Chain A
Amino acid sequence: MKRIAPWLLAGTLALGASLSHAVTLRVSDLGDVQSMDPHSLNESLQLSFTGNVYEPLIERGKDMSLTPALATKWTQTSPTVWRFDLRQGVKFHDGTAFTADDVIFTFKRAAGDGSDMKGYTNPIKDVRKVGEFAVEIETTAPYPILPDTLTTLAMMSKKWCEENKAERPVDRRKGIENTASFKSNGTGPFRLKERQPSVRTVLVKNFNWWGKSESNLDEVVFTPIGNDATRVAALLSGETDLMEPVPLQDVERIKSAGLNVLQGPELRTIFLGMDQKRDELLFSSVKGKNPFKDVRVRRAFYEAIDEETIKARVMRGAALPTGLMVGAAVRGFQADMNKRLPYDTDGAKKLLADAGYPNGFEVGMNCPNDRYVNDAAICQAVAASLARIGVKVNLMTETKVTYFPKILRRDTSFYLLGWTPSTVDSHDTLQSIMATPNDKGQGQFNLGAYSNPKFDELVLKIQSETDQKKRNEMIREAFKIHQDDVGHIPLHQQALAWAYGKNVTLTQLPNNYMFFKWMTLKSK
């Protein structure tokens, strides 16, 4: 040991010396950012990380409200036309000025081949330049949530993309690599300094940023650590300053080691769906009819599930039971309606008997085991709950790469899913999860095909209603219809969990975005 000590000490000293002049935050995450291109993948880690380098026209503040970023002002000049005044004097990291041409280029890029942002650009008909620092966006129909949509669309430099042959996001189909995947040139508070996929990605402070930074960070080193135990160990040993997600079983341990754990409800709502379309379920002992078509059966399932126990045992308290299909931070959330049906095994048994199943029945259930927090365990708890009312659940859990293709083919009778409305507006959930499926993408994740014409009518109206008060009333009505029908069974919002040293201050957003501009690191 004596022989090791001197060079170990020397190493530590050298490390200390190199750190003394720069404030470096070391972050680890379960996964790696797949690409540096902000348009290539519509995934939260990807958008969160590149959101430190690239910026949208409008961003979300600490309370998720819309805040001016590269646009200083936006006004609706007609039901389908919006005018955006751009921030002047903004420079990309390479020094070129940000202008209306870059905005027009960005929209074209995001709508083109290889882009994963088409979902956001689909409602947009045209983007026009109305001055060096102003653009007009025309939508195909009135689209009140355009500003929300724009928060996920990062602005890129026309000149840089053209010079680097990155006019389009990388197209995996054509087999051609793309500079924007490894390099970046945004307007954000941090610049990309080093990129080693799956190893480390280093950001450094952008001294020419237009905004006023709250952060004292000079450098951020981002390292993916896939193994939960190792990620926790790296934090405990002081090799990283901040990590997410925290495995639920380690929360207490990390706290007792004198570190912070910040848990907040995530936007994502976890729920169960039931096949209400087929005349006979694919996986059930009931033949010739579909028990889920009867609202009494759906209600019985709902009342039989012991969500409080799931919260306490499976989620170790890190869940917020919900009665609505959207969480509190989402626009259109109705606080007074966020109540679950009572947990009532006897009532559920009676409902089942009334529906003609006094002895229950058998049903197959599909569940992912690596997508949501403790997803497979939640399903096991649900199966145990249902056993108490005589329903035998044949549970099939599998990895997300086989699970999603299967349930998207609707090869399921009863399933678990989680949903985050990417626009942070209820309409997204109403349309994707709850509306009747059609071939235009509506109800694409309504995998049990819950359907109510009155509900669908409301969803269409909500999409283009610009009066916020009227719109909110309609959202309320839609949720009410869905609750009365027990279209789905909402379970809970899972919690986000970040762990970090006492010397770090930060802000956590419910969409799990990690913005370094809101973080500071005090030297120990």
Chain B
Amino acid sequence: MQKIRRKSPTRPGFCARPAHAIRFAFHLGPMFAFVIRRLVQAVLVMLTVAFIAFMLFQYVGDPVTNILGQDATPQQRLQLRRDLGLDSPFPVQFAQFVGNAVRGEFGLSLRQGRKVSSLIAERLPATLELTLLAAVIALAIGIPMGVYAALKRGSFVSQALMTISLVGVSLPTFLIGILLILVFAVTLKWLPSFGRGEVVSFGPWTTGMTSIDGWRHLVLPAITLAIFQLTLIMRLVRSEMLEVLRADYIKFARARGLPDRVVYFRHALKNTLVPVMTITGLQIGGLIAFAIITETVFQWPGMGLLFIQAVQFADIPVMAAYLCLIALIFVAINLVVDLLYFAVDPRLRVERAAGAH
């Protein structure tokens, strides 16, 4: 906590004072309560998601015809439906699901006949690797581009950046993916068009980041996934930065005779990053959940692809587990972002402290 606090961006007037450290210690109490409260909320959210998901499952179709094929008799179909519990009423199915899910048991995939938990464990690393790389690309390119566009407002390059970013925001992901494949895989033959390539496993974790082949496979999908976020972050940073540059403390900083570099990057940028952090946190959840399209286009063996295949087959155990996991990820990321916010923005701490006393 101390380390984070020292690094936290500070606005003039709220710069670190010893008193803060003391006050912050008192916060662990309320913060603990806050975390507990959020965890309880998380459980409620997950139950709601599971409930809605199960309601939807009543309409996604019937896996029985897929499992049994064309030559099965009506009796066999009826029997299988009964054995799978598909004929029991919705509340009963839901109760059974929750009961099993609490024990971490999601049953067997109807499509593959394998444990849902191991299917997801197998696919999770691929999705996380892709998502994290996409997030890094989006931040590492988006922030500098946004800063540049704000500082050199009106210049040709920043106008061009803004125009290009419009394209990035408006082009659908699958189209970007297909275009990249067309250019870099089919025409130039520089990069592969599908799959993860060579992966190395470390225990349950698999990674493609240790080999050249793995990296070559990562490039196109990661860029595809990153482009929307990148342009979003760039536009966000630019508008925030423009706003911050108009603030009084920047004027004071200039009046103090601080060089531009310090004004821009120490004072302005740091304060710009607070909303960027919130958005990025939320977007990472979105990236994981919506990597579906990128994964489908690139045949990336992640969870999104697993989910799409499950939907096409009405593989209810996989769909249910996936939706619950995504809900969990969203809830967890939101919690982390809230805590970071708490740590980074000194005003929050003061206000909370005032409330607590």
A→B interface (CB under 8 Å) = 4, 7-8, 10-11, 28, 34-35, 40-43, 116, 118-120, 170, 172-173, 175-178, 181-182, 196-200, 223-227, 229-231, 233-234, 236-239, 370, 399-405, 408, 419, 422, 432, 439-441, 444-445
Contact = CB atoms under 8 A, between A and B. Distances in A.
Given A173-B83, A230-B193, A233-B193, A399 B113 contact: no
A239 B60 contact: no
Given A11-B213, A182-B114, 16 more contacts: A10-B212, A42-B68, A42-B70, A119-B69, A119-B71, A119-B72, A197-B112, A198-B305, A226-B305, A229-B181, A229-B297, A230-B178, A236-B186, A401-B65, A432-B70, A432-B71
A175 B312 contact: no
B166 interface: no
Given A234-B194, A239-B185, A42 B71 contact: yes
A229 B195 CA distance: 14
Contacts of B298: 230
B296 to A, nearest CB: 6
A4 to B, nearest CB: 8
A231 B213 CA distance: 19
B76 interface: yes
Interface of B: 59-74, 76-77, 80, 83-84, 107-115, 119, 178, 181-182, 185-186, 189-190, 192-196, 212-213, 216, 296-299, 301, 305-306, 308-309, 312-314
Closest 4 pairs (CB-CB, A-B): A401-B61, A119-B71, A405-B62, A173-B83
Given A239-B185, A404-B62, A422 B71 contact: yes
A170 B190 contact: no
Nearest to B315: A401
Given A43-B69, A401-B62, A226 B296 contact: yes
Nearest to B82: A173
Given A172-B110, A178-B113, A226-B308, A402 B61 contact: yes
B309 A226 contact: yes
B194 A230 contact: yes
Contacts of A200: 195
A175 B68 contact: no
Contact of B193 (A8, A173, A237): A237
B64 A175 contact: no
Contacts, number: 153
B312 A370 contact: yes
B76 A118 contact: yes
B115 A226 contact: no
A405 B64 contact: yes
Given A116-B72, A226-B308, A175 B107 contact: yes
A255 B216 CA distance: 28
Contact of B185 (A28, A233, A400, A401): A233
Given A118-B72, A224-B299, A401-B66, A34 B112 contact: yes
Given A116-B68, A227-B299, A405-B64, A35 B181 contact: no
Contact of A401 (B181, B182, B312): B312
Contact of A199 (B74, B109, B301): B301
A475 B32 CA distance: 79
Contacts of A238: 189
A175 B103 CA distance: 15
B74 A401 contact: no
10 contacts: A43-B69, A178-B113, A198-B306, A226-B309, A229-B178, A230-B193, A236-B186, A237-B186, A237-B189, A444-B74
Contacts of B72: 116, 118-119
B76 A173 contact: no
Contacts of B193: 230, 233-234, 237, 239
A411 B80 CA distance: 21
Contacts of B314: 401
